[in-house]
Structures are given as structure tokens and as C-alpha cells.
């Protein structure tokens, strides 16, 4: 069993209470699309753009917590999943330090794999509730993108990966 990851506090002012008593039922995975983790931290902690996330995982695997999990981080924007809106009030947002143009690093994926089970347990989030930003905002958002290894997470029970169904009819 993996040990609990070390988490560095870096509070962002960009959050508020979850609306209507909602609790997290999804985890939304993003990429920062920025050149460095430091630039992403600066933006996610700057009150002007009004964006944040609960966590940022750097390329080297360092995990920063920006917003407490019981609060509503401003990461998802407009969109829906499973017919539900206000995804910010229904989710935990995890930003990954990546521009979307290269594979996600091994230390970063390992840190994500250490962080996810604890969040999923705390909030009773099933693997089907771990989604990409592009899933809840198709056409508007593309992250975490095609270079993100969903299958790796699925093999550990941390996400789902579609099974290929054999379309060939079989004789009895």
C-alpha cells in the first residue's frame, strides 16, 4: 500500500462554499497548459483571473493543495456530467503541470496515483467519477488530452477505461 503523499499548502483566494449542500462526487483532471508549475501556481493563486483547483501536481511529483476539499474551487467552468451541472460544487479539481504537448511524467503520475485513493475514499467517489475536463465540457476543453494515461489509472481501479466489445456475431 502506498504511503500518503506529502502535500504542500499554497492557499488560493479563488474559492467559495459549495452550493446547495452539494458534496464532491467527481474528480476532474486538468492540465495547466502553462510553461511551468510556478506560473500555474501564480495564476491559480491570483485573485484577478478567478480560477483555482484543489490540487496542482508538478512535473516532478510535488503536490500543492490550493483549496480545501470541502470548499468549491473554481476549476471546471461551464459544463455538465451525467446530466448534472455546477460541476465545481460537485467535484475536486486536480491540475497537472503539463502543456498538453508531451506525456505526463512518471513522478507526476505516481503522485496522482497516491493522491486519488485518499480523495476517492473520503468522498466515496467511484472510479467512474474520475473524469477529464474535456468529458464535462466537450468542445470547450480538451484537457487532460490524448497524452494522459487513463488506462494506467483504470488498471489500478482509479478510473475507468472502455472495454472493447467484439462486434462480430458468434454462433451458438
Give the active site residues: 95
- Looking at residue 4, the DSSP 8-state letter turns out to be P
Closest CA to 119 of 162, 73, 163: 73
Q: How far apart are the C-alpha atoms of 89 and 20, rounded to whole Å?
A: 8
DSSP one-letter code for 101: S
Distance CA 132, CA 135 (A): 5
The percent of the chain in helix, strand and coil, each rounded to the nearest 5, is 25, 20, 55
Rounded to 5°, angle at Cα 12 from 7 and 17? 100
Amino acid at each position: 500500500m502506498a504511503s500518503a503523499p506529502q502535500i504542500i499548502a499554497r492557499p488560493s483566494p479563488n474559492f467559495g462554499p459549495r452550493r446547495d449542500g452539494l458534496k464532491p462526487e467527481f474528480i476532474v483532471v486538468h492540465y495547466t497548459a502553462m510553461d511551468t508549475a510556478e506560473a500555474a501556481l501564480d495564476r491559480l493563486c491570483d485573485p484577478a483571473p478567478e480560477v483555482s483547483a484543489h490540487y496542482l501536481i508538478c512535473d516532478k511529483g510535488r503536490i500543492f493543495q490550493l483549496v480545501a476539499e470541502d470548499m468549491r474551487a473554481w476549476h471546471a467552468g461551464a459544463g455538465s456530467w451525467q446530466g448534472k451541472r455546477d460541476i465545481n460544487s460537485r467535484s475536486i479539481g486536480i491540475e497537472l503541470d503539463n502543456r498538453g504537448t508531451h506525456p505526463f511524467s512518471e513522478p507526476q503520475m505516481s503522485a496522482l496515483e497516491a493522491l486519488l485513493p485518499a480523495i476517492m475514499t473520503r468522498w466515496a467517489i467511484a472510479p467512474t467519477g474520475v473524469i477529464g475536463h474535456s468529458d464535462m465540457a466537450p468542445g470547450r476543453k480538451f484537457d487532460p488530452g490524448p497524452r494522459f494515461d487513463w488506462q494506467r489509472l483504470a488498471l489500478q481501479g482509479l478510473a475507468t477505461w472502455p472495454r472493447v466489445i467484439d462486434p462480430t456475431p458468434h454462433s451458438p
